Structure 1
């Protein structure tokens, strides 16, 4: 039975917590894939197998920065702006399309108002969909880890600030869409991460409570999302965060 020894914090902790499992963790599997962790090491960190694991997308499962960079620069060029380099754009990723556009405009010396940000976001989003998966890739070991978790009966969800249609397009492209019982992307009618609503929507769709779930992401936005929802968070050691993973306040790294 899956069990958390105590409730997760309501806000990001300053240091990773020490977990006290009620039973010995599952035996280790050979770690043959260079993912941030294998399915067994998730269980070793958490003290057992969760009923559900919800993942962030960009910077966690998929290295999507090159396509985001290409689409953003196409949008900027259409307004006689830019270009921005890949490194700069990569560090802007993580809070949804509107925030990406706002950060890009500020990097170019503007102080944009909300109307300008929304107008350019409307121009950017279809270009991102058109860009598709020309340059992105799954991180090493992701597919094997997801399939291993699903084979053990762990329900999988996706919670991202990326528009949901584009997120689903990525999953279909890589042939892993059938592994996910819930996909929650950006919806104008719902607050975006770090609000708890998108993650709670994913868990509702999976039929799993917060006490039986885990959230995996790469940024402070993801850590805050999990803690706002009352769900423990694993921070991956790669991705797009400016801050090192061990300084994000996640429950596990």
Structure 2
């Protein structure tokens, strides 16, 4: 499993530092949000392997934050809730609005690490191997792409970009989310994304009548179903 990129939404600095230390020991990257509104914003703008969400936030109820992430983010990201609310009714409510796991405070950080790893693996295993968007078909297992039955030749990065856009389709994906998904916090110095998008268009759109890869001004890119098929 690749190193995880995790969004931690926690308003208590001491708890956030403690959690981050254990996660970073695993080689995982941790981004922080000290309030619910910022957490939702980051989850919508970027793509994370996992969201760790404290329910007791100062601005928004954590359940509202979870629901917003699940409905507004371009891809489905697992959400692990941290809370002192240990009643079955509270857990039922959390799972009902989309939470994927639940850990009650106080907790052992080692258990949190184990749950994060298991949750991320489960999410990858349950991801559909075959994604279809219109006449486009993407197979993660053998890394093959076909459009209208014709095989397309893509670079490794082109495949990752297309796969990310396909999973989000028909919702757009921001430039920043794509850059983080492909290169993490160390993107190339030049506008590499623009170059890869150009090459991707040559493979996905140029041989066909209907363009599928759209540029959304001031936002990013979107994969729309083609008309042929």
State whether TM-score is above 0.5.
Answer: no
Q: Looking at both structures, which has the greater relative contact order when contacts are Cα pairs under 8 Å and sequence separation is at least 6?
A: 1
Shorter-chain TM band: under 0.3
State the TM-score, normalizing by the size of structure 2: 0.27
State the TM-score, normalizing by the size of structure 1: 0.25
